[in-house]
Amino acid sequence: MIRQFSLVTAVILLYLPAVSGHAAQFTSAASGSCMNLPEHGGFAPDGTMVHLFHCHDTSNQTWTVSNGQINSSFGSCLDVQGGAPNNGAHVIVVACNGRPSQQWALSNGQITGIGGKCIDVQGGGTADTTPLIITMCSPSPSQQWSLQ
């Protein structure tokens, strides 16, 4: 029993820093690619769509999870286009403002937002520049994410 407790404790201690205020990459289980912002000279204008792109350890693929928000390294927050829980709405970044469409939960490998919808890769795609959307949660690998 002590051995199991130690293993669980170790997993929790390894997981918490990545989820609470430390920079990390979100990697898709379906493709191994990362959640990515197009490069705009070190910033992302409001409304910039978030895409899938092969991981390459640059700032446009670095995210921080804090207080229920997912922040880009450029200081903007992950949001949903139109701010409503519509299936197929694009995942974008905008200035952080605390709206419900900027609140996210990480659970069982899924990123859940407004209306209980999950971040997914449009069409289940795996190619670079495929947009990210929200849709009804399912066990699809394109809705499974890990923090690296």
**pLDDT at residue number 54:** 97
> DSSP 3-state assignment of 116?
helix
Per-residue confidence band for 43, with pLDDT thresholds at 50, 70 and 90: confident
Percent of the chain having pLDDT more than 90? 78
Kindly report, residue by residue over 85-110, the tens digit of the pLDDT: 999 999 999 999 999 999 999 999 99
Instruction: Give 27's pLDDT tier (boundaries 50, 70, 90).
Output: very high
DSSP letter, residue 129:
T
Which residues are CB-contacts of 84 (< 8 A; sequence separation ≥ 6)? 101, 114, 115
Which 3 state secondary structure label does DSSP give 15? helix
Question: Hey, is 9 helix, strand or coil?
Answer: helix
Question: Is the model's pLDDT at 80 over the cut of 80?
Answer: yes
Q: What is the pLDDT of residue 51?
A: 97
Topology, domain 2-147 = Trefoil (Acidic Fibroblast Growth Factor, subunit A) (2.80.10)
Return the higher-pLDDT residue of 54 and 39: 54
Distance, CA of 108 to CA of 112 (rounded, Å)? 10
